[in-house]
Amino acid sequence: MTPTDDGIGHLEILPEIDLALIDALQVNPRAPWTTIASVLDIDAVTAARRWRRLHEERLAWWVVTPSAARLTPYLDATLVLLRCASGAAEDAAERAAAPDWVHTVDLVSGTADLAVVVLGSGLAEVHRRVDELAVLCRGEVVERRVVADVHAEDAGWRLGICSAAQRRSLRPRTDQPRPAPPRAALVDDLLAALGDDARLSGQELAARVGGSEPTVRRGLDRALRSGAIRLGCDLATPAAALGRGVLLEVEVEDPDRAGPALAGAAPVHRCVQTVGAGNLTLGVRLASLAQLPRIETDLAALARGWQVRSRSTVLRPVKRQGQVLDSSGRRAAPRRGGRRGSRTG
């Protein structure tokens, strides 16, 4: 499956079995192929083959990130809105996506041209990086929304195709107490090792990280069950008939209560508590912008005092969860001799 030659990079909709496979891997990226095959009623060889094709064609890929809980006190984040000169937004977006400390870049409509999430060790460093970003993009900072809390990340979003029973069969056991995370150095080593393949075997991980296989396996288990490492599976959303996106800045009475409720809504792939005119910023995915009024009505029912402060249509995601995307929404092809994309944050 490849983009058409119409200059837009249009993607065909993936078959249902591929979407179900991606959804199963979103539920549990390290589930054995035999388990996935049993849940989806296909054979394990077919499941592995289909995933390999999706990954090779850059239609789906792994997301391996540290927990958002590390935003405080280790990391801080700010959502920056930038205005660019006429006709310069596309080039500015590519420039913005280059630094490792830039987590997300969206080309948007409205009062700004770019929405960028900048990470740093402390707000002072984030502030300096925002100023550096403005110079790099030759743009003007319209607004800075400091992130106070993260209720939903892109890595945790799911297509929602698998049934509740299928999800239960896929999920790892949760009847054990949540352990303390392993030492930070091991978490960083595991993040680096798993970067391109969240399904690496214990033997392969031990070879990359160093140490015995049982020790590395236990460390990974602790990192995953403690939430120190988040594994996800992302995809080119146009291939799932979800090629439209909107950023909503909203004000609610109690963001601590409303944030988790909104984060669980199917269209919401991103929900962060921000300091600004509103107190929550949401990213929603939809098949058509005509669905937005109904989606907003549904979301308002989950959050007392819901008021929309601003709306921005996402014209194109350029970088998501540290991964650069191409114009069709697929994972960008790695540059020869370069890195694929940052895993920062």
Range 3-28 average pLDDT = 80
pLDDT score for 68: 62
Write down the pLDDT at residue 180: 85
Which percentage of the chain shows pLDDT scores above 90?
Answer: 77
Rounded mean pLDDT of 254-258? 97
d(CA 340, CA 97): 12
Are residues 99 and 44 in contact, defined by beta-carbon separation less than 8 angstroms?
A: no
- Residue 345 in this model has a pLDDT that exceeds 90: no
DSSP state of 278: S
7 vs 5: CA distance, rounded Å: 6
Q: What would the pLDDT profile of 146-179 be if each residue is shown by its tens digit? A: 999 999 988 889 999 999 999 999 987 776 788 8
Q: Which residues pair with 143 in a beta bridge?
A: 81
Helix (H), strand (E), coil (C) string for 47-100? HHHHHHHHHHCCCEEEEEEECHHHHCCCCEEEEEEEECCCCCHHHHHHHHCCCC
Confidence (pLDDT) at 7: 35
Mean per-residue pLDDT, 266-279? 95
Residue with tokens 């996106």: 245
What value does the mean pLDDT take over residues 253-274?
A: 96
Question: For residue range 103-126, what is the model confidence (pLDDT) as tens digits?
Answer: 999 999 989 999 999 999 999 999
The model's pTM is 0.88
